[in-house]
Amino acid sequence: MGNTYWGDMPWKKVLPMEEKMAFIIKVKERVGSFATICRQHGVSRRTGYKWWRRYQKSGLAGLEERSHRPHGCPHQSAPIWRDRIVALRLRHPSWGPKKLRIKLVERYGGKGMPVASTLGGMLKAKGLVRPRRRRARAAVERGILTRPGAANEVWAVDFKGWFRTGDGLRCDPLTMSDLFSRYVLCCQIVARQSYGEVRPVFERMFEQYGMPEVIRVDNGSPFASSGPGGLSRLSVWWVSLGIKPEFIEPGHPEQNGVHERMHRTLKAETTRPAAQNGRAQQKRFERWRRQFNEKRPHEALGQRVPADLYQPSERLYGGRKIEQKYTEEYVVRRVRSNGEIRLGGMRYVGQTLIGQLVGLRQIQTGRLGVWFGSRLMGELHEGETGGLRPAASTETASSKKAKVLPIITV
């Protein structure tokens, strides 16, 4: 046949059925020695004998090609795990295989449990996994943000995007979470995004959990304002309680990424579809919050739940504001009910600072800086009667490098 035979090497190619039949006919008719017939067909004697035995046992059907797949696989996952992971996924549609595996181990033990990637393959085979489009991550300057090292060091606060309940009414959920433990402190529907509606919610949270050191927010109302220093009535109130407001850069929600990721889960598990009315939606939020805090494991927490790491703050809320203190370099004035201070006449510094003590110090000839605590709110210009202007200087009351200039006589 043109093929050279080398000892007992296995065949080089799979022969068509016709050649196998020709091989068998030659063996039956004994047209030559068995070795010679194998050499003519380019197969080893081992292969030849295999074909002959199969023909004797099953006839021509024994010459058909057979699958090389093993009859059994010791590493193949038992179907029972497939059924269990699918059932659990249907109960928690937004949970991935790592979280689901933790729950399966808790319920059934870890013996024989497939790894997370295998469980993910089971879900994919059942059509329960949708590929997620990866977004390019923007480079973020995080030096200005506080990295939490303990519970209640930094709370994140925001409004989850509004939506309408089944009765057509607008729903605005205010959310708060502890960035260290991922514990969701609050998901409360409010009538409006205003100081009057939001402050009572904060008071309840402070009474229940104590006060954080930092509250991180975006630059929207009621957390921030376009007025002097960027503070609003709400953030001024936080400062008066000894809480530092921390604002992310405009247009960079990824700087509050942990909280935003929580919002995505909240939306997927509580608003699709929304409840019939606000009362039913609030009950749904509370059920979800308990599950998120006490049942849902988090990869960033080593697959622990937020409740394992969170504990109330030792900074108790007493409702009393803390008067801001200033060194001898500052002239101190209290802002009146009309937003003005007395400075050789009346000068306007803003409604958000009503009732608060501010510190005044000269930062350049003819320019008087106005501070609220360590935050430079703006500046007043000597010889003018106008109000507070945006500050050109970036120094703060705590800056050790700031050059101290003589105080303007007031």
Give one DSSP letter per residue of 117-153, joined into a string.
HHHHHHHHHTT---PPPPPPPPP---TTS----STTS
* Percent of the chain's residues with pLDDT above 70: 85
What is the pLDDT of the chain when averaged over all its residues? Answer: 82
Pair 101, 75: CB distance under 8 Å: no
Helices (H), 109-253: 116-125, 195-209, 233-240
Average pLDDT over residues 105-130: 78
Pair 118, 129: CB distance under 8 Å: no
Report the run of H or E that residue 47 belongs to, with start and end.
helix 45-58
Confidence of residue 405 (pLDDT cuts 50, 70, 90): very low
Q: What's the pTM?
A: 0.64
pLDDT for res 1: 41
Confidence of residue 197 (pLDDT cuts 50, 70, 90): very high
Please tell me the CATH code under which domain 154-308 is placed: 3.30.420.10
pLDDT for res 399: 42
Among the ranges given (5-19, 221-235, 283-297, 392-406), the one the predictor scored with the smallest mean pLDDT: 392-406
pLDDT for res 69: 61
Supply 341's token pair.
């201070």
Which residues does 70 contact at the CB level (< 8 Å), separation at least 6?
Answer: none
pLDDT for res 82: 79
Pair 12, 23: CB distance under 8 Å: no
Rg of the chain in Å (alpha carbons): 37
Supply 283's token pair.
């009950």
Residue 285 predicted with pLDDT over 80:
yes
> How many beta carbons lie within 10 A of that of residue 38, not counting itself?
24
Average pLDDT over residues 235-246: 93
Confidence of residue 142 (pLDDT cuts 50, 70, 90): very low
Residue 51 predicted with pLDDT over 80:
yes
Residue 191 predicted with pLDDT over 60:
yes
Q: Which of 228-232, 266-270, 321-325, 348-352 has the highest mean pLDDT?
A: 266-270
pLDDT for res 134: 55
Supply 224's token pair.
């921030």
Domain boundaries, the chain: 17-63, 79-125, 154-308, 323-410
Confidence of residue 64 (pLDDT cuts 50, 70, 90): confident
Confidence of residue 22 (pLDDT cuts 50, 70, 90): confident
Among the ranges given (44-48, 73-77, 261-265), the one the predictor scored with the smallest mean pLDDT: 73-77
- The whole-angstrom separation of Cα 321 and Cα 316 is 12
- The whole-angstrom separation of Cα 85 and Cα 400 is 59
Supply 353's token pair.
């600072």
Average pLDDT over residues 111-124: 80
pLDDT for res 333: 93
Q: What are phi and psi of 342, to 5 degrees?
A: -90, 120
Report the run of H or E that residue 247 belongs to, with start and end.
strand 244-247
Residue 410 predicted with pLDDT over 60:
no
C-alpha 368 chain-centroid distance: 44
